[in-house]
Structure 1
Amino acid sequence: MSTPRQDLVAAGTRLAGLGLSPGASGNLSVRTGDRVLITPTGAELGALDPGALTVLDLDGGHLEGPRPSKEFPLHTAFYRRHPDTTAVVHLHSRSATAVSCRPAWSERSAVPPLTPYFVMRVGQTPLVPYAAPGDAVQAAVIEAMPLAFRAVLLANHGPVTSGRDLAAAVDAAIELEEVCTLLLLLPEGERRLLAPPEIAELTARYGSDWDL
């Protein structure tokens, strides 16, 4: 049976192998109880060392290991927001970051309900106003948002996804990148979006978030 450290390294390897983590961008974390295991600052996701990860408390206090990614406030905000969340993925993947530089589709989601898998695996994904990387105020905004969601796009920055386990958070990050790629390929106005009854069926079956 793998350990959380090994799982984090494997997730980083997978995401880097898919080309979703250029250079030393992106950060991952998993929560176990009141402890958060997160990738350190400047780490390449494809070259993580299971013995050189950082441990924080849920308030972001540094407990052990190297200096954490400066984006740690995003991670702890998601953990405090949803007690059942045990993993967070933040990437600078190309298509999702491109969409984060555009106006949001609606107030509740930067991305429209283009595919069933986006609705099922990601759900509505609000666009969070721009702030400098690592800004604790932006994390506080995310934590306090009244909308139900498991993922966001940070304006001019990139995606953050979360899940009840690491596999779900990683799958959501991959699916969000895919739907953003499709969105960029489709001319404005030449697309069919899922209808409200279709969305309602998916959210009821898969427990995802979408306000109709």
Structure 2
Amino acid sequence: MSTESELREEICDTGKSLYARGYCVGSAGNISARLEDGWLITPTDACLGRLDPAAVAKVSSAGEWVSGDRPSKTLALHRRIYENNAQAQAVVHSHATALVALTLAGCWREEAILPPITPYQVMKVGRIPLIPYRRPGAAEVADEVAALAAQVRGVMLERLGPVIWDTSVSKASFAMEELEETARLWLQVQPRPAPLSEAAIRELETIFNVRW
């Protein structure tokens, strides 16, 4: 298991990479990681491209602000994910352009914002449901996401962006990036591509031990 110092560095490195490649802009987005005695989370209104490891907020298991700058206003959402999925070790939230555009144009289905059109989408991300729009930080959103936390690897907040969780900060970031690229493909290709067949999806699930 990574040390707290290593997790702080990984959060900052990931934020810098996402910002440099346009997956987040300004002070949008946040990243967190689980600790044995609580969580680390990026500060409120912080630019992910300019994070300081020492300024990353530490929060106790009871939700108390321990050190660093003031925690992101989405802390309650991150906390509920960790409480409802023991496998989740990190959460990444961005305002990825293609995914937000997808919610504006119209998602495929509420239970799956995109059809399964590529094998890596199935293998690395899985089915991502849509959470209807609420204002940023709304308590109802945390409740809705918590109810899904053990069933999927992430959700899409309508008009806001994806929230993805995984066993590390890097893996959560990679899954978010795969989802964003899939949304970009879906929006660019005309006519819309057909989903993978049920047989193809079952094969991926069996061979790679994944779940669509």
Fold shared, TM-score > 0.5 on shorter chain: yes
From the superposition, tell whether residues 59 and 131 of structure 1 become closer, same or farther in structure 2 (CA, over 3 Å).
Answer: farther
The alpha carbon displacement at 1:31 in A equals: 0.6
Aligned match of 1:194 in 182, 196, 202? 196
Cα distance in 2, alignment partners of residues 195 and 186 from structure 1: 18
Closer, same or farther: CA 208–76 of 1 in aligned 2, 3 Å: farther
Aligned in 2, Cα 1:146/1:64: closer, same or farther, shift over 3 Å? closer
Q: Which residue of 2 aligns with 1:206?
A: 208
User: Whose helix proportion is higher, 1 or 2?
Assistant: 2
Structure 1 unaligned spans of 5+? none
Q: Higher mean Cα deviation, 6-15 or 192-201?
A: 192-201
Q: Displacement, 1:161?
A: 0.8
1:174 matched residue in structure 2: 177
Partner Cα separation in structure 2 for residue 70 and residue 86 of structure 1: 19
Q: Partners of 2:187 and 2:124 in 1: how far apart? A: 20
- 2:33/2:91 contact within 8 Å kept: yes
TM-score by length of 1: 0.91
Cα shift at 1:99: 1.2
Letter in 1 for 2:50: A
Describe the shift of the 1:146–1:28 C-alpha distance in structure 2 as closer, same or farther (beyond 3 A): closer
**Residue 144 of structure 1: how far off its partner (Å):** 1.4
| Residue 63 of structure 2, aligned match among 60, 63, 66 | 60
CA RMSD of aligned residues (A): 1.8
Mapped partners of 1:59, 1:128: distance in 2: 26
- Correspondent of 1:128 among 127, 131, 137: 131
Cα distance in 1 between the residues matched to 2:176 and 2:6: 22
Contact kept, 8 Å, 2:30 with 2:48, in 1: the verdict is: yes
Q: 1:160 to 1:59 in 2, by over 3 A?
A: farther
Q: How many residues align?
A: 209
CA distance in structure 2 between the partners assigned to 1:141 and 1:200 by the alignment: 28
Partner of 1:198, secondary structure, is helix
Residues 151-172 of structure 1 show CA distances to partners (whole Å, capped at 9, x for unaligned) of 1110111111111111210100
Q: Give the SS at the match of 1:51.
A: helix
- Contact 1:122–1:208 (CA<8 Å) still a contact in 2? no
Identity %: 37
The runs of 5 or more residues in structure 2 that have no matched partner are none
Q: Secondary structure at the match of 2:134?
A: coil
Q: Quick one: distance in 2 between partners of 1:106 and 1:19?
A: 26
With 173-182 and 197-206 compared, the bigger mean Cα shift is at 197-206
Counterpart position of 2:93: 90
Query: Does the aligned pair in 1 maintain the 2:96–2:180 contact within 8 Å?
Result: yes
If the length of structure 2 is used for normalisation, what is the TM-score?
0.91
| 1:87-140 deviations in Å (ceiling 9; x for gaps) | 110000110111122433224211110111111111000000111101121111
CA spacing shift, 1:59–1:202, aligned 2, 3 Å: farther
Q: 1:98 to 1:82 in 2, by over 3 A?
A: same
Q: What is the distance in 2 between the residues matched to 1:156 and 1:190? A: 22
